[in-house]
Amino acid sequence: MEFREIASTRRSVRSFSSQPVEEEKLSRILAVMNSAPSAGNLQAFEVCVVRDAARRKALSEAALSQGFLAAAPVVLVFCANKIRSATRYGERGEELYACQDATIACTYAMLAAADEGLATTWVGAFDDDAVYRIIGSPEGLRPVAMLPLGYAAENPGVTSRRRLLELVRFL
Ligand SMILES: Cc1cc2nc3c(=O)[nH]c(=O)nc-3n(C[C@H](O)[C@H](O)[C@H](O)COP(=O)(O)O)c2cc1C
C-alpha cells in the first residue's frame, strides 16, 4: 500500500479472529520496526513478542482487563531501555529519549502491520509493574506500549481528528 493510504485507512481494532499471524509477516514487521530512527542510533528499546496464551491473558488483565489483548494471537510489548540511553545522554536519555525510541519503534511496527493487512491497537493503559512481572524484564526497562497483532474480526468506523488549524501553528 502507498504510505498515505496506510496512514489514512489504519484504525484501532479491538476484536481479533483466531487466525494466526504468519511468521513471514511478523518477521517483516520486526524488520521495519528495526529501521526506526532513535536518539544517537542507540535503539534504546526492547520488544517482547508474546505468543503464549497464558501470558497474553495475563497482559490483558494487567491492561485493565482489555480482553482483546488475550484474543490477538501476538502481542508486542515495547519497553524503553532507560539505562542504555542514559549511558550517553544522562537524564534526558533516561527520561525522554528511551521512551521516544520505544514509541517510534512501536509506530513503525503498527504501520508495517497495517501494510501487511493486519490489525492492531496501541495499548498504553496498563499496570507497569504487572507487565514487568509477566515479561520478566530486567532492571532499567520500562514497558511503554503494547501492540496486539492479528486479523480483524470487526471493521471499525472512521475516527475523527482535530482540525489541523487547531493543532498546528505556523510561526
Ligand atoms: C498513547 C496511546 C495510548 C492508547 N491506549 C489505548 C488503550 O489502552 N486501549 C485502547 O483500546 N486504545 C488505546 N489507544 C488507541 C486510541 O484510543 C486510538 O488510537 C484513538 O482513539 C484513535 O482511533 P484510531 O486509532 O482508530 O484512529 C491508545 C493510543 C495511543 C496513541
Is the distance from the beta carbon of residue 12 to the nearest atom of ligand 1 less than 6 Å?
Answer: yes
Residues 6+ away with beta carbon under 8 Å from 125: 63, 64, 66
| Ligand 1 centroid distance, CA of 122 (Å) | 5
Q: For residue range 59-76, what is the model confidence (pLDDT) as tens digits?
A: 999 999 999 999 999 999
Average pLDDT, the chain: 97
Count other C-beta atoms under 10 Å from residue 167's C-beta. 8
Count other C-beta atoms under 10 Å from residue 118's C-beta. 24
How far is 41 from 104, CA to CA, in rounded Å? 12
| Ligand 1 centroid distance, CA of 106 (Å) | 13
What DSSP assignment string belongs to 81-124?
EHHHHHHHHHHHIIIIIHHHHHHHHHHHHHHHHHHTT-EE--B-
- Nearest alpha carbon, ligand 1 atom 12: 123
101 domain residue, yes or no: yes
| Ligand 1 centroid distance, CA of 33 (Å) | 19
20 domain residue, yes or no: yes
Instruction: Name residue 48's beta-bridge partners.
Output: 77
Q: Which domain holds residue 11?
A: 3-155
162 domain residue, yes or no: no
Predicted local confidence at residue 153, as pLDDT: 98
How far is 70 from 63, CA to CA, in rounded Å? 10
Give the gyration radius of the chain's Cα atoms. 16
Is the distance from the beta carbon of residue 123 to the nearest atom of ligand 1 less than 6 Å?
Answer: yes
Number of domains forming the structure of the chain: 1
27 domain residue, yes or no: yes
Q: For residue range 117-163, what is the model confidence (pLDDT) as tens digits?
A: 999 999 999 999 999 999 997 777 999 999 999 999 999 999 999 99
CATH no. for residue 65? 3.40.109.10
Residue indicated by cell numbers 508474546? 50
Predicted local confidence at residue 138, as pLDDT: 75
Closest to 33 (Cα-Cα) out of 43, 19, 23, 18: 43
167 domain residue, yes or no: no
How far is 162 from 149, CA to CA, in rounded Å? 27
Q: At residue 155, what are phi and psi to the nearest 5 degrees?
A: -125, 85
**Is the pLDDT assigned to residue 18 strictly greater than 90?**
yes
| DSSP conformational letter for 96 | I
127 domain residue, yes or no: yes
105 domain residue, yes or no: yes
75 domain residue, yes or no: yes
